[in-house]
Structure 1
Amino acid sequence: MRILHTSDWHIGRTFHGHSTLDALRGVLDALIAQVREHAVDVVVVAGDVFDSAAPAADCYTLLSDTLRGIRESGARVVVTSGNHDSAARLGFQAALLRDGIHVLTDPLAVGTPITIDDAHGPVHIYGIPFLEPALLRHVWPGIRTQEAALSHAMDLVRADLASRQAPGARSVAVAHCFAAGVEPTPLLERDIQQGGLDVVPLAAFDGVDYVALGHIHGRQQLAPHIRYAGAPLHYSFGEGHKPRGSWLVDLDADGLAEVTWVALPIPRRVVTLTGPLDELLADTRFADDEQAWVCAEYTDDLPQRDPLRRLQARFPFCAKVVHTPARTAEASARTYVERVRSARSDRELVTAFLQHVREGAGPTEREQELIDDVLAERVRVEASA
């Protein structure tokens, strides 16, 4: 059996105020083409199908078109809900969907698999929707953490597998969580903590042939059979270096046989450019980035006038500008209090203040003239008083 593992579509998310719907549609169309090209049997979507609990109508249209396209390409689909999804909204028409499209959002059905047969027999796919401990305590007493919730869910999976009395039965678990062993990353989605009790140990997933995880936006391999596929689009500048795609998972008669990466097209690159503003505006080494999404970090000592408008004249898709001046050695080594205490005159005191509020940049030549004029006037007024 061949399974395509994808996740975190986040239909409806914006990128610095810009809609991503058309770009995502193009990428998901490419995914549908890959389903046909690689003769995929099942597509697994591991949560965060939508970006919000109340998606707009055009988001539902894109989801419906994509699920229909996958099914018409010959694959079945198993979808679970993530922490961004409303399980009720995502799953409200699950019973009405056409044959071969399964939307799993009910925690109480965790131990009931979608069973699909191939030449070697059945493969049991267990969908685990995002499990919010606070909402499960009345049905799963004692559940207080993500670790406890996922461990209990996997206990139900293992119990179901054992009850089938089919030694060697192949199985896949689909979950949306933060699993132990994930590389440190700023890309964690909201509502699931990185530290403490909300980290799910890999041992919780023992007993199945493959674990398709969602929630992390970059692909990661935690174990040969436990992986994150990441998001199909770059949804932040911090993700720019992460490839986009899906895992192609092959199961043979004995279980997991092979996992390969299938890259997706990137509609528009995401880059972060750093340097003085004039350099960003003119340097030819940035020519290849002129049609990319750009985050510009300009390093001038002082804030510059209207940097976003000026940068967009060269980079039409410049979406973010950050002033990141390089601190001087003195500014890095000495605190503001130390500089004030060492000032021997009012002139040095003003200079110390400007260096503090301007990341190490002291007064310009013209500013120094104005400071000297003000201080001289102060001396004149005090002398005449």
Structure 2
Amino acid sequence: MLILHTSDWHLGRSFHGTGLLQAQREVLVQMADTVRDRGVDLVLVAGDVYDRALPAADAVEVLDGALAELVTAGAAVVLTSGNHDSAIRLGFGGHLMGASGVHFRTRMDEVTAPVVLEDPDGGRVAVYGVPYLEPRHAGQVWEVDPNHTAVTAEAVRRIREDAGARFAGQEQETAVITMAHLFAAGGAGSDSERDIGADTPGGQAGQADCSSEELLVGTLGQVPVSVFEGVDYAALGHLHGRQRMAETVRYSGSPLPYSFSEAHHTKGGLLVRTAGGAVTGVETVDWSAGRKLAVLRGRIEDLMDNPDHAWAEDRWCQITVTDPVRPPQAYRRLKERFDGLLNFVLDPDAGAAAVRSTYAARLAAATSDLEVCTGFVEHVRQRPASAAETALLTTALAESRAELDDEGRAA
């Protein structure tokens, strides 16, 4: 059997204010082409199917079309809910859809309800879908400690127990595959994942997206890979970079990049092959949809004139300008060359910029009205006032004084 492991579709997500739904449609078409061309029997989606608990109508429409296309291409599908999904909404109609080959696993009580498929190469495959487990709720229901490690370990324990009882004494060997949505200890995060550690006691559920550095502060949200001992393959979701945690514990990563920290990721999925009730191999499959990403950094003149940056002209760009003084109209100038500029950052080279006093200190030291005005321009623009700006301010001050003098004489 050939199984396509995917996760983190995040349908309906935007990227720095730019909608990604068309790119998501394109990559899902490529996914269906892989199913058709490679003869994939089963597609796994390990959580974060949608980007939000209340997905927009067009995102729901994209999922509906994608599932129909995958089934038409010849594959069954198993989806689990992630921390971005509403488990109830995602799983609605699941019992009916299971008859068509689309299986949702979004509730705790479905952890021991495997999707069992006969392997064309002998044996069978049992897929146990573990939805995202909120530790406080799952810990209370299962009477274990309310943390990610304890509830995940309990879910896997129940899976091993169920598989042992369900398939005991049968001639066919069974490959046990577990889907889970979590942060595995040692995994590499990116800037586009939500910190599921915030859902532990003392954290804040629903926290905004965090950087990878914030994700790795502490270990409350991280689960050791060892909890998956005893299963033949763990198809993980949540981290957006494709990575191998152990030979049979892997992240497929997201099918599209969702932050500039993923600019160097190769996006796609994993093809897992089974035979005779065992996992016999894992290989990558790559997809490409929408604009690629570029991350540039440097002085404004180099960014504007250097032909070595031509490769980034048709990409979505994050550009950091390092000039010691903010160049005039820097964003507008860069946008002329890189029309996909989405994130502009000013970060002067360390040690290059002269030490600037605070605006209050400059104001206190000003000896004229003109210095007050040019000091304000420097404070707002993060650069000294230009000659043209200084001349304009000089004229404005002179005209203001003349008008005041005329009013005084009139009085």
Q: TM-score range by the shorter chain?
A: 0.7 to 0.9
Deviations 1:224-275 (A, max 9, x none): 1110011111111010001100000001115111100000014211011111
Q: CA deviation at 1:183?
A: 3.2
Question: Corresponding residue for 2:185?
Answer: 180
Letter paired with 2:81: S
Q: CA deviation at 1:292?
A: 0.3
Q: CA deviation at 1:199?
A: 1.1
Pair 1:328–1:236, CA change in 2 (3 A):
same
Q: CA deviation at 1:363?
A: 7.2
Deviations 1:117-146 (A, max 9, x none): 123132110000000012224421233101
Question: Corresponding residue for 1:77?
Answer: 77
Question: Corresponding residue for 2:150?
Answer: 148
User: TM-score, normalization: structure 1?
Assistant: 0.84
Question: Corresponding residue for 1:90?
Answer: 90
1:42 has 2:33 as partner: no
Question: Corresponding residue for 1:21?
Answer: 21
Instruction: Tell me the percent identity.
Output: 38
2:119 and 2:275 in contact (8 A); partners too:
no
RMSD, matched Cα: 2.7
Letter paired with 2:182: C
1:294 and 1:319 in contact (8 A); partners too:
yes
Q: CA deviation at 1:282?
A: 2.1
Pair 1:81–1:267, CA change in 2 (3 A):
same
Question: Corresponding residue for 1:111?
Answer: 112
Question: Corresponding residue for 1:275?
Answer: 298
What SS does structure 2 have at the residue aligned with 1:172?
Answer: strand
Question: Corresponding residue for 2:404?
Answer: none
For 2:384 and 2:72, the matched residues in 1 are separated by 68
Letter paired with 2:162: D
Question: Corresponding residue for 1:128?
Answer: 130
Pair 1:88–1:254, CA change in 2 (3 A):
closer
Question: Corresponding residue for 2:315?
Answer: 292
For 2:328 and 2:337, the matched residues in 1 are separated by 16
Q: Please show how residues 372-383 of structure 1 align to structure 2 within 5 Å.
A: none
User: TM-score, normalization: structure 2?
Assistant: 0.79
1:303 has 2:304 as partner: no
Greater alpha carbon shift after TM alignment, 280-289 vs 5-14: 280-289
2:124 and 2:277 in contact (8 A); partners too:
no
Q: CA deviation at 1:327?
A: 1.8
Letter paired with 2:95: A
For 1:83 and 1:157, the matched residues in 2 are separated by 21
Deviations 1:278-303 (A, max 9, x none): 22122211112111001110111112
List gaps (5 residues or longer) in structure 1: 341-345, 348-353, 370-385
Q: CA deviation at 1:111?
A: 1.3
Pair 1:18–1:304, CA change in 2 (3 A):
same
For 1:251 and 1:77, the matched residues in 2 are separated by 16
2:49 and 2:85 in contact (8 A); partners too:
yes
Q: CA deviation at 1:186?
A: 4.3
Q: CA deviation at 1:311?
A: 1.5
1:307 and 1:321 in contact (8 A); partners too:
no
Q: CA deviation at 1:329?
A: 7.1
Q: 2:260 aligns with which of 213, 237, 260?
A: 237
What SS does structure 1 have at the residue aligned with 2:241?
Answer: coil
Q: 2:194 aligns with which of 177, 186, 189?
A: 189
Q: CA deviation at 1:313?
A: 1.3
For 1:281 and 1:216, the matched residues in 2 are separated by 35
For 2:328 and 2:386, the matched residues in 1 are separated by 19
For 1:282 and 1:106, the matched residues in 2 are separated by 56
Question: Corresponding residue for 2:403?
Answer: none
For 1:203 and 1:74, the matched residues in 2 are separated by 34
Pair 1:262–1:302, CA change in 2 (3 A):
same
